[in-house]
Amino acid sequence: MITAYLKRAYSSFAAHVFDVPPRLLAFLLFVLHLVLPVAKPDPFIQLTVFDIFFLAAFAASWDLLVGRSGQISLGHALFFGIGGYTTGILSVNLGLAPWITIPLAVLVGVSASLLIGLPCSRVKGPYLALVTMALPLILVQLFKLDLLLPITGGEAGVGILLPIIPSAFFRMLGFGSRDAIRAVALATYYFALFLVFAASVILYKIANSKTGMVFVSILDDELASKACGINVTRYKLMALAISSLFAALIGAIRGHFATIVSPGRFLDLTVSFAPVMVAFLGGIGTIYGPLIGAYIYYTLDRFVLQKMTQIPFLAFTDWEHVRFLIFAVIVIVLVIKWPRGIARFVTDKLHDLEEARDLDERGKWIWKTYKKRKKKE
Amino acid sequence: MIENILINGAILGGLYALLAFGFTLIYGVSGVVNLAHGAFFMIGAFIFSALGPFLLSILGPLGVTSTVIPLLALILAAIFVGIAGSIVYRLTIHPILGDEVAIMVVTISVALIIQQLVLIGFGFSAPVTPFVSGSIKIIGVSVTYMKILAFVLSLGLFVGLWAFINYSKIGAAMRAVSQDHEVAMLMGVNTETLYMLTMAISTAFATLAGVFFTSALLAGQAVPHMWLEPLWASFAIVVLGGLGSIKGTLVGAFIIAYVEHLVAAVFVSQGGVIVRAIPIATMVLILLVRPKGLFGKRIEME
């Protein structure tokens, strides 16, 4: 009886949640993040959420390319890394301010994507995936050349980048040096929050605009889109350029916050694999899915797998490798069993429930009218 | 100088042909872009390095000579990886056949899993010693016997597999499936088994290539991160020769090998990086100039 009651309560609750417009949900989420540092002033949680923001926005840019336009890039770290390295090199070697170097980094990232896209997007096939996968690792090798070593720093990377929000600014306003550091941390958090929400909203709007529809039509049937008079190559390039724009922007800003741009954090294969993982966890092709996916990923990573290392039997010395292995297995299982991801799975379930509720109400209505008629008779 | 390029380029070309054949075979027959091909190449070398001492400890006291053991280990490693490859195919790739994005994500995940498993199980490197020692001078260039053996074996295997595809019944089935898999099914070809068999052959060949590469060319050390470069090389060869064309694979392998050696000879000091970028550069060039490759008409087996 209790289970039946709970089931009913859940279904009514779920139906009500579904009634809430997604715009309101997104707004609530935004407000929740807005008050988080005030409600829980824990620097660890703040930093984790900060990381989640960047991963989510990066994965959303990947999702627009792969989930919407169907071009697969297995090396999105290329654009992320180009963004980070361009701003890093300009800022360290020339001493330019971040507001000049970041737009330049985005420009370089977009032109790189167009250079790669021109040969690869003309032909249908796995070319783009292979080229983008290979280029970051070739770039790492290139950066180690004697010629480029003084500029790029090789394995150690470029450092130290100028901060976007300098603590001198707060000190000028009359903060003490300790308060200034705290204020910078808070300002950084809010900066990242606004950036990520702005990027996600823009990406979502693009994905659901007329151009986004064209992307989906190319994904569904390239030949039919061609027959409708769509310049397929142009739109494919456009998707690649938009995606790389956001990836480079996020990479550049991430570089300024991390203060050091190194191959391991910006151009590695694991960096390329992160958005794939997050997008499939959250739901590919949704744009908002990666945010949920990033939360799931970090919860799994920080709170489940790190707790597992404390179990004596599982305390491998090479835990890093096992962690990565587990995530790769999760991706395979998700792709095969839940290709629509967790966010889509939940919304689909809610949709089903709503339909069931509608049917239920219709059934009740029919039963009532039937009874009324019987009474009349 | 020129003799050096000629001979070493030929040896590298033979090995590349063996490596790319597996890749083109599975692509041509089932349309799967197997990004884990390089990972099978890598794990093959590691399994070979583990099997050698193991077999020596078992068969050594029975009086089996130490020249037979590496060959036995090679065959066993190929069989083992082939079976593993077909199981991986059945478990991961078969449920999503036809979905290009999903296949690429899954195969790259498989490659990463194999890399991590090797890192956990074998550590950062394993020695793959050449089976034969000694060297000979061919037109003034010193070539180890191992290189010659690897070259001869890989070309022999290439020709053998080519003959298998062209003259055997299973090969005919493979060609039929590559042309039209629905009609082949109507003619009574069990495509599922055929795909698994193709995957087994493909991964076994990757293993053989991996063992030859590490023992003859890569200074006898297998490392877990060495799967990416063979993957790009085989993909570039396949694109250069035309997707699914066997003749194209052979020609493409030799072209890429010679270009790599030429460039390495020209840019001696900075050779490593530029040589690594050659497969990708060739691929981009081919996509710009002639996207179907040298011998590609349509995507089908010859």
CA separation for the pair B121, B126 (Å, rounded): 11
Contacts with B119 from chain A: Cβ below 8 Å: 318, 321
Phi and psi for B141 in degrees, rounded to 5? -110, 130
Residue A35 domain-assigned?
A: yes
Chain B's closest residue to A117, CA to CA, is: B284
Longest dimension (CA), chain B: 60
Would you say residue A234 has pLDDT above 60? yes
Residue A360 domain-assigned?
A: no
Contacts with B279 from chain A: Cβ below 8 Å: 134
Task: Supply B139's token pair.
Answer: 């037109």
- Percent of chain B surpassing pLDDT 90: 27
| pLDDT score at A312 | 66
Q: CB distance from B243 to chain A under 8 Å?
A: yes
Residue A98 domain-assigned?
A: yes
Burial state string for A281-313 with b = 16 or more CB within 10 A and e = fewer than 16: bbbbbbbbbbbbbbbbbbebeeeebeeeeeeee
pLDDT-based confidence at B271, cuts 50/70/90?
A: low
B136-189 pLDDT per residue, tens: 777 777 788 888 888 999 999 999 998 998 899 998 898 888 888 888 889 888
Q: Select from B33, B101, B231 the Cβ nearest to the Cβ of A66.
A: B101
Chain A's closest residue to B35, CA to CA, is: A130
Residue A308 domain-assigned?
A: yes
A86-125 pLDDT per residue, tens: 999 998 888 888 888 999 999 999 999 999 988 888 777 7
- Percent of chain B surpassing pLDDT 70: 96
Amino acid making up residue A157: G
Residue A303 domain-assigned?
A: yes
Q: Select from A72, A130, A328 the Cβ nearest to the Cβ of B112.
A: A328
Query: Average of pLDDT values for A5-29?
Result: 68
Q: CB distance from B101 to chain A under 8 Å?
A: yes
Residue A374 domain-assigned?
A: no
Would you say residue B300 has pLDDT above 70? no
Contact A328 B113 (CB under 8 A): yes
Contact A138 B276 (CB under 8 A): yes
* Full domain range(s) for residue A331: 17-354
CA separation for the pair A91, A257 (Å, rounded): 13
Query: Average of pLDDT values for A286-314?
Result: 79
| pLDDT score at A313 | 64
Residue A40 domain-assigned?
A: yes
Contacts with B92 from chain A: Cβ below 8 Å: 332, 336
Q: What is the pTM of this model?
A: 0.86
Q: Do the Cβ atoms of B45 and B230 come closer than 8 Å?
A: no
| pLDDT score at B42 | 92
Q: Select from A125, A144, A325 the Cβ nearest to the Cβ of B117.
A: A325
Helix and strand counts by DSSP (H, E) for chain A: 19, 2
- Comparing A52-56, A367-371, B80-84, B296-300, the range with the smallest average pLDDT is B296-300
| pLDDT score at B302 | 35
Residue A373 domain-assigned?
A: no
| pLDDT score at B14 | 92
A178-213 pLDDT per residue, tens: 777 778 888 888 888 888 888 888 998 898 889 989
Phi and psi for B294 in degrees, rounded to 5? -65, -45
pLDDT-based confidence at A244, cuts 50/70/90?
A: very high
Q: CB distance from B121 to chain A under 8 Å?
A: no
A66-90 pLDDT per residue, tens: 888 888 888 899 999 999 999 999 9
Mean pLDDT of chain B: 85
Reference A162, options A257, A54, A51; nearest CA is: A257
> Which stretches does DSSP call E strand in B115-156?
126-127, 135-138, 141-144
The total of structural domains in chain A comes to 1
> Which stretches does DSSP call E strand in B180-240?
221-222
Q: Specify burial of residue A198 (Cβ count, 10 A radius: 0-12, 13-18, 19+).
A: exposed
Burial state string for B92-105 with b = 16 or more CB within 10 A and e = fewer than 16: bbbebbeebbbbbb
Contact A72 B105 (CB under 8 A): yes
Would you say residue A149 has pLDDT above 90? no
pLDDT-based confidence at B301, cuts 50/70/90?
A: very low
Contact B106 A336 (CB under 8 A): yes
pLDDT-based confidence at A17, cuts 50/70/90?
A: low
pLDDT-based confidence at B129, cuts 50/70/90?
A: confident
Contact A129 B280 (CB under 8 A): no
Q: Select from A119, A146, A328 the Cβ nearest to the Cβ of B109.
A: A328
Would you say residue B38 has pLDDT above 80? yes
Chain B's closest residue to A274, CA to CA, is: B109
Selected residue of B100, B225, B273 to mutate for chain A interface (largest A Cβ count, 10 A): B273
Chain B's closest residue to A328, CA to CA, is: B109
The ipTM (two decimal places) reads 0.85
